[in-house]
């Protein structure tokens, strides 16, 4: 693998500084990769892809022949995060998770944050992910967001920003675990020498987090993972996590509510369920409370949840913190609940709900990225600098029509990482999604999903739109590799 023609370009490069020297922690990796002949690189890449296919590390592609699974494209040059950098991220993520959990609890109880004018009441109440049915809900141990995955990006100066908080059902952690297994096989020696912090503990940490919210009078609570079924695009992950934790993978039709408890239908009759790690959306949970047409949920479930006889992870209603407009208020939310300055900054955000900010957005559409409040996966966006005048005019109309639905941000020059493209190494834009578990304390998995936009120049890292992934190596402090 040759780096002599590699150009870091006008973006922040994750591996090389502007003079072409490896960044702290990357020297050993760069040196080792450079010694591997090109054909050997290709051979290892193919072996890695084959291993992923055989492990079944796949996602379903909607609209294709049934049972067709594709592997999430995998790039074998890892992304390195030095120990000091990680410490900062970890502190920032813990702070953010704690504040957002308090915010959600407040929104569904006393609403002090609204009364004090920190977040406009109208904004919260008009959020489609705000669920009035959750008012007064007391999830066990006060935890709402047991599992979250926060998307981070770096701008040209290398500074990390929070792009969005995923407080509902963030997916992708199975790729973190599988990518790691494959990387250990692909580069065993450099892996060993680099002192990379392990990620294997995730399933047991997750299980502990889930057991922690079980009823206090049950010594070993029964935890299940609720999936929408085999046709869901993340079914592999559901199945993988259930297997790794050794818990039952259930569908809505396996569960029933009787006598105030949730039971699963087994070959030996009904068996009680204490904690549900659900991977279906809020509004599908219980057709008697939310969407009536939901076939995926369990009728009567919310009554049992309210009575505290079953715990849901994440609790319903947490999506209110994912609203892209409320996102703009997270720094204020952190200051309000914790009395601290945010450790990780937001991307500067203009809220079209506010008259002055909206005017600024409308007169600067050619410089901004506009996003809809409740879309994800890269949909419902306007990339101002790349859009045509007609597209911008059409979006301006939509903003005027429903200002509450839109925010705008400057276009960040996302950092790039060296990536194998047809046998050569080229820079591609990346982001980073670490996973956070909220039990009695908050655990951040040292690693995360580095998504990479494989198309040249593209900023879109989503798997549905040509994205791939890389293993993320968080280095241990004081390692021989200059981890610090």
Partner 1 sequence: MLSRVAEAIYWMGRYAERAENVARFVDVSFQVMLDLPEPLGDPWAGVVGATGDEALYAARHGTATRDGVVRFLTFDAGSPNSILSCLRKARENARSVREVISSEMWEQINKWYLLVRDASTDQAVLDDPHDFLTEVKQASHLFVGIAALTMSHGEGWHFGRIGRLLERADQTSRIVDAKQALLLARPSELGASLDEINLSALLRSVSALEMYRKRHGRIAFQTVIGFLLLEKMFPRSVRYCLNEARRSLHAITGQPPEAGDTIVPERLLGRLGAEYEYASVDEVLAEGLHEHLDRLQSKLNEVGLAISQTFFAVRPHVQEPPAARTAAPAPETAAAVAAQTTAAGPVAAASPPAPAPQPTGAAQ
Chain contacts with partner 1 (rule: CB under 8 A): 54-56, 66-67, 218, 229-230, 239-240, 242-243, 248-251, 253-254, 256, 258-259, 261, 263-272
> Please, what is the minimum distance in Å from the beta carbon of residue 213 to partner 1?
18
- Write out the two tokens for 119: 């977040």
- Write out the two tokens for 443: 């655990």
Residue 258 or 456: which CB sits closer to partner 1? 258
Question: What are the DSSP calls for 70-135, one per residue?
Answer: EEPPEEEEEEEE-HHHHHHHHHHHHHHHHHHHHHHHHHTTT-HHHHTTSS-HHHHHT-TT--GGGT
CB 72 within 8 A of CB 59: yes
Q: Find all residues with CB under 8 Å of 135, minimum gap 6, and list them.
A: 108, 109
> Please, what is the minimum distance in Å from the beta carbon of residue 231 to partner 1?
9
- Write out the two tokens for 300: 């009567």
Query: Phi and psi (nearest 5°) for 296?
Result: -95, -20
- Write out the two tokens for 208: 């502990």
Query: Phi and psi (nearest 5°) for 175?
Result: -70, -35
Query: Phi and psi (nearest 5°) for 36?
Result: -85, 125
CA 250 to CA 463: how far, in whole Å? 26
Query: Phi and psi (nearest 5°) for 391?
Result: -65, -40
Angle ∠(67,69,70) on CA atoms, nearest 5: 160
Chain centroid to Cα 28, Å, comes to 29
Q: At which residue do the structure tokens 């105030």 appear?
A: 260
> Please, what is the minimum distance in Å from the beta carbon of residue 170 to partner 1?
20
Q: What is the DSSP letter of 196?
A: B
Residue 55 or 114: which CB sits closer to partner 1? 55
Instruction: Count other Cβ atoms within 10 Å, centred on residue 9.
Output: 12
> Is 381 strand, coil or helix?
strand
CA 188 to CA 225: how far, in whole Å? 33
Residue 143 or 182: which CB sits closer to partner 1? 182
CA 357 to CA 362: how far, in whole Å? 9
> Please, what is the minimum distance in Å from the beta carbon of residue 258 to partner 1?
4
> Please, what is the minimum distance in Å from the beta carbon of residue 353 to partner 1?
44
Instruction: Count other Cβ atoms within 10 Å, centred on residue 125.
Output: 13
Q: What is the Cα Rg of the chain in Å?
A: 23
Instruction: Count other Cβ atoms within 10 Å, centred on residue 330.
Output: 21
Q: Find all residues with CB under 8 Å of 58, minimum gap 6, and list them.
A: 52, 69, 70, 71, 72, 236
Residue 253 or 402: which CB sits closer to partner 1? 253
Residue 155 or 237: which CB sits closer to partner 1? 237
> Please, what is the minimum distance in Å from the beta carbon of residue 464 to partner 1?
21
> Please, what is the minimum distance in Å from the beta carbon of residue 248 to partner 1?
6
Residue 259 or 397: which CB sits closer to partner 1? 259
> Please, what is the minimum distance in Å from the beta carbon of residue 337 to partner 1?
38
CB 447 within 8 A of CB 183: no
Chain centroid to Cα 360, Å, comes to 30
């Amino acid at each position: 693998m040759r780096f002599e023609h590699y150009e870091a370009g006008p973006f922040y490069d994750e591996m090389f500084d502007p003079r072409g020297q490896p960044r702290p922690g990357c020297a050993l990796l760069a040196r080792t990769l450079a010694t591997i002949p090109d054909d050997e690189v290709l051979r290892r890449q193919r072996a890695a892809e084959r291993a992923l296919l055989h492990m079944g590390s796949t996602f379903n592609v909607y609209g294709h022949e049934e049972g067709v699974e594709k592997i999430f494209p995998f790039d074998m040059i890892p992304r390195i995060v030095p120990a000091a950098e990680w410490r900062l991220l970890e502190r920032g993520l813990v702070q953010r998770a704690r504040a957002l959990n308090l915010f959600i609890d407040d929104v569904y109880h006393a609403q002090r944050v609204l009364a004090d004018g920190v977040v406009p009441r109208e904004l919260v109440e008009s959020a489609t992910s705000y669920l009035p049915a959750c008012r007064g809900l007391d999830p066990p141990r006060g935890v709402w967001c047991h599992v979250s995955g926060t998307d981070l990006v770096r701008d040209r100066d290398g500074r990390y920003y929070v792009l969005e908080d995923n407080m509902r059902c963030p997916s992708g952690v199975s790729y973190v675990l599988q990518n790691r297994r494959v990387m250990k096989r692909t580069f065993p020696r450099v892996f060993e020498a680099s002192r990379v912090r392990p990620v294997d503990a995730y399933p047991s940490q997750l299980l502990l987090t889930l057991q922690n919210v079980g009823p206090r009078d049950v010594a070993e609570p029964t935890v299940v993972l609720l999936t929408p079924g085999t046709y869901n695009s993340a079914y592999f992950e559901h199945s993988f996590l259930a297997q790794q934790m050794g818990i039952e993978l259930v569908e809505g039709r396996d569960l029933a509510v009787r006598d105030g408890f949730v039971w699963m239908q087994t070959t030996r009759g009904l068996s009680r369920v204490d904690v549900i790690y659900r991977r279906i959306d809020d509004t599908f949970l219980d057709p008697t409370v939310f969407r009536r047409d939901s076939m995926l949920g369990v009728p009567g479930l919310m009554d049992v949840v309210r009575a505290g006889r079953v715990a849901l992870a994440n609790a319903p209603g947490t999506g209110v913190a994912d609203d892209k407009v409320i996102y703009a208020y997270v720094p204020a939310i952190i200051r309000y609940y914790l009395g601290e300055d945010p450790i990780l900054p937001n991307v500067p955000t203009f809220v079209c709900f506010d008259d002055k900010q909206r005017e600024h957005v409308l007169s600067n559409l050619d410089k901004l990225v506009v996003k809809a409040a409740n879309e994800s996966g890269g949909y419902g966006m306007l990339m101002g600098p790349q859009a045509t005048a007609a597209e911008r005019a059409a979006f301006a109309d939509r903003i005027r029509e429903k200002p509450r639905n839109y925010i705008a941000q400057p276009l960040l020059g996302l950092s790039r990482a060296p990536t194998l493209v047809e046998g050569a190494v080229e820079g591609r834009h990346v982001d980073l999604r670490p996973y956070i578990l909220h039990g009695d304390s908050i655990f951040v998995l040292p690693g995360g999903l580095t998504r990479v936009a494989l198309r040249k120049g593209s900023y879109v890292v989503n798997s549905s739109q040509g994205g791939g992934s890389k293993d993320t190596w968080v280095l241990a402090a004081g390692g021989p590799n200059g981890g610090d």
